[in-house]
Amino acid sequence: MTHELTRRDAIAALSAVGASLAGCAAPSADDDGQSADGDQSLSDHDRGTLSAAAEVLYPDDVTAVESFVERYIDGRATDRPEHAAGIADAVEYLDEYCQAWYEADFAALSVDERDEALRRMSADEADSVPDGSDVERLRYYVINDLLLALYASPTGGQLVGIENPPGHPGGLASYQRGPQS
Amino acid sequence: MSDIRTPSDRVDRTPSDRVDRTPSDSADVCVIGAGPAGALIAHRLAAAGHDVVVLEAGPRFDPEDRIEQMDDALRPAHGRPDIWEMGGNRDAFTSSGDRQYPLNHARVKGIGGSTLHWQGMVMRLHERDFGVASREGVGADWPIEYDDLRPYYAAAEDALGVAGASDNPFEPPRETPHPMPAFEPSYSDSIFAEACETLGITTHSVPNARNAEPYDDRSACVGYGTCQPVCPSGAKYDATSHVEKAEDAGARVIDQVPVQRLEHDDSGEAVTAAVYATPDGETHRQEAREFVIAAGGVETPRLLLLSESPQYPDGLANSSGAVGRYFHEHLFAGTGGVIDRETRQHHVGFNTTESHQFYDDPATGTESGVPSADAEADDLGAIKLEFFNYAGPSPVDAALSDGGWGEDLRERVADTYGNHLTVGALVEQTPRRENRVTLDRSTTDDHGNPVPEIHWEIDDRTRRTIERANEIQEAILADLDAEITWQVGPTETGPAAHHMGTTRMGTEPGESVVDDRARTHDLRNCWIAGSSVFPTGGAMNPTLTIAALALRTAEHVERRL
Ligand SMILES: Cc1cc2nc3c(=O)[nH]c(=O)nc-3n(C[C@H](O)[C@H](O)[C@H](O)COP(=O)(O)OP(=O)(O)OC[C@H]3O[C@@H](n4cnc5c(N)ncnc54)[C@H](O)[C@@H]3O)c2cc1C
Ligand code: SF4
């Protein structure tokens, strides 16, 4: 079974991180509009790098990753510019590292190489610290940001058995329901 | 959007650097602290036409930031006190005694006070709680009875907006239903219901200060599941609601102005001014006819102690020596485990089932499975059992703290999340004179004042009660064939963030700080609102009682204006 990340997931994830729909009591998942032009503080390269990272970070059967990440990142950049700056810095570090080891930017590597690069720099052991070392900041602004976006969305939640994960305003029906299968 | 407002829809106030923080000329009432106690009193008195000034130490948080605060709260990188900017020199404290007291996890400074962070469970004390000394020979009796507070409880439930049902057979008598219907039980409640039925434990709904439907211009709960520490929708009550109402009724509410001390007249019978500091380093005096101290159960006694004078060398309103003493809490006792089916946790951040069966009668077992307490260990305090809807790790937390990623991470998170159950409990702590808030003169805060020192220990009766709670919890989980994976007992226990007893209420001026109206015995225009006036605290979360007492005190203050 594949799990397609939808516009609804991006909106849900955005609402969990304070972007775009901030404050709306019950963001309607099917709501249209809002093409998320985004702030220019994140370049196309930054956005492409985050999508490339998400391909490694997200489980294999999650689809439509790129459009999900783009929507998510644009909303982030608009509503939390200082956070976007942190993302851009982390992407820069990631590229520097990959240039040194692989002579290519992170996004240009194969999925396996990206995974290897992250492990080589010990991103899997680093704490997530917004003002920490390069790798700790990468963990905070890129890895945990993307994992938060996924696991606070309905599709990401469903991957692990919860359709209304914390951070997602999924209403009052799901907590009363028993297991679906 | 309709007329339902979320926190960020609310009126933008003046940016904090342009706020006028000079004193008011002719205040009738000066309220110190803008948590629920201060906000409710300020609102009632302002609505009655009186000139009210509220001085609040902490900032006015921008409601626009609530979702960002939730974002931070979901990330393990941010500690709980960070979410509401607690900590640092402003909030420095000393913890002594055999228990570390985590004060800055247990309060918030800001417009709205600790309700910004709170869980929002709101129940009435039981009739028993007002006379524990007479009935059980421990603690002190309240100078008032449940019946004295009963109408104010109803008014408090209306004010906060409580969703509840009348299905609790252990609850004291009530006159009207709650203003909103209770939240429906969760799926995991139905799992516990089976076990409790077998064991002969009666369960019932939980009164929540949280909108089950739109109420008082605030949104219904939409299931963000992050109630503690922050509700982005505004469905969870917090005291910014009554601060706004007070302001709409004409009160002035000034943020970032910690009161440094209170001054009194030559006779020593009346407070004349609250001396406060502003962010730009100025000091002002706010004069008023009546003063209400509503600074929480630690800062209220601290402010009285800081207000020592030649006439009152031991601190203001402290001729009894009881200011700061009898500090007590509710202790957490919990048992958790896993079962072989899904339990559907973490969809919402609040509970929907409790049992008060072991509250008035903690030692008595059931015929079908819960043993009675041993005869030599049956002197126990009250126990309130809670059935969690957020047992075990949340999937977001599990994903972000794991370290890994990809398919492996998904598998681990799916394994970690899924079949946890927790039975928690609040346990009554016996108030003891030695447990106290004093001034630590060796350490000072950002204004050069001695910081509060909290000396906190747990007595044998309270320990026994925690063990008894564990025993009941184990019986429930055993009936479900759960594998018990953790337990919080007398050694691991921690406080529930309820600061009680430090300016206790009583009829004897030699033994208590305030009278039955919550006015200090020593000073005729000085009132105290908050759980510091509780002589004993039962095992119910305190804020509904704080609110009821505040509404009652507001009437007494008004009679003097
Ligand atoms: C994590 C958590 C969960 C909780 N859950 C529940 C629950 O489920 N149910 C429940 O009933 N209770 C709960 N509580 C407790 C509840 O929040 C408090 O009982 C309640 O907020 C107390 O109200 P208050 O107005 O007396 O004090 P507070 O809300 O603490 O407000 C006091 C205010 O006074 C201000 N202040 C302090 N000193 C000064 C000074 N010198 N000058 C000016 N201002 C000053 C402070 O900055 C603060 O804003 C919880 C608390 C926490 C922290
Ligand atoms: S679950 Fe909690 S945080 Fe979410 S809307 Fe309801 S009250 Fe607010």
Any idea where the domains of chain A sit in the sequence?
A: 3-176
Separation between Cα atoms, residue B361 and residue B380, nearest integer Å: 9
Distance to chain A for B479, nearest Cα, Å:
20
pLDDT in tens, chain B (561 residues): 334 555 555 544 556 668 999 999 999 999 999 999 999 999 999 999 999 999 999 999 999 899 899 989 999 889 889 999 999 999 999 999 888 999 999 999 999 999 999 999 999 999 999 999 999 999 999 999 999 999 999 999 999 999 999 999 999 999 899 999 999 999 999 999 999 999 999 999 999 999 999 999 999 999 999 999 999 999 999 999 999 999 999 999 999 999 999 999 999 999 999 999 999 999 999 999 999 999 999 999 999 999 999 999 999 999 999 999 999 999 999 999 999 999 999 999 999 999 999 999 999 999 999 999 998 888 999 999 999 999 999 999 999 999 999 999 999 999 999 999 999 999 999 999 999 999 999 999 999 999 999 999 999 999 999 999 999 999 999 999 999 999 999 999 999 999 999 999 999 999 999 999 999 999 999 999 999 999 999 999 999 999 999 999 999 999 999
Structural domains present in chain B? 7-560 (3.50.50.60)
Tell me if B344 and A179 make a contact (CB, 8 A cut-off).
yes
Please report which ligand is nearest the Cα atom of B347: 2
Predicted ipTM of the assembly: 0.91
Q: Is B523 left (phi over 0), alpha (psi -120 to 50) or beta?
A: beta
Search chain A and give the residue with CA nearest B2: A25
Helix extents (H) in A2-139: 7-16, 44-57, 65-79, 81-102, 111-120, 134-138
CA of B184 to the centre of ligand 1 (A): 28
Distance to chain B for A62, nearest Cα, Å:
10
Residue nearest atom 51 in ligand 1 by C-alpha distance: B118
The angle formed by the CA atoms of residues B480, B477 and B205, to the nearest 5 degrees, is 95
pTM of the predicted model, to two decimals?
Answer: 0.94
pLDDT at A25: 28
Question: Given CB atoms, is A150 within the 8 Å cutoff of chain B?
Answer: yes
Write the pLDDT tens digit of every residue in B518-531: 999 999 999 999 99
Search chain A and give the residue with CA nearest B394: A166
Sort strands B483-488 and B252-254 into parallel, antiparallel or unpaired: unpaired
Tell me if A147 and B232 make a contact (CB, 8 A cut-off).
no
CA of B503 to the centre of ligand 1 (A): 15
Q: Is B458 in contact with B99 (CB distance < 8 Å)?
A: yes
Residue nearest atom 7 in ligand 2 by C-alpha distance: B236
Tell me if A178 and B394 make a contact (CB, 8 A cut-off).
no
Ligand 2: residues with CB < 6 A are: B 210, 221-227, 231, 233, 235-236, 348-350
Write the pLDDT tens digit of every residue in B358-397: 999 999 999 999 999 998 888 999 999 999 999 999 999 9
Q: Is B282 left (phi over 0), alpha (psi -120 to 50) or beta?
A: beta
pLDDT at B467: 97
Question: Which residues of chain A are under the pLDDT cut of 50?
Answer: 18-40
Q: In what order do the strands lie in the sheet with B483-488?
A: B353-355, B383-387, B420-428, B330-338, B483-488
Separation between Cα atoms, residue B20 and residue B14, nearest integer Å: 9
pLDDT at A20: 36
Task: List CB contacts (< 8 A) between A60 and chain B.
Answer: 406-407
Tell me if B67 and A23 make a contact (CB, 8 A cut-off).
yes
From the CA of B297, give the closest atom in ligand 1.
Answer: 26
Task: List CB contacts (< 8 A) between A121 and chain B.
Answer: none
CA of B56 to the centre of ligand 1 (A): 12
Separation between Cα atoms, residue B300 and residue B313, nearest integer Å: 17
Size of interface A-B (CB pairs under 8 A): 182
Task: List CB contacts (< 8 A) between B68 and chain A.
Answer: 17-18, 22, 79-80
pLDDT at A79: 79
Interface test with B, best of A162, A164, A177 (most B CBs within 10 A): A162
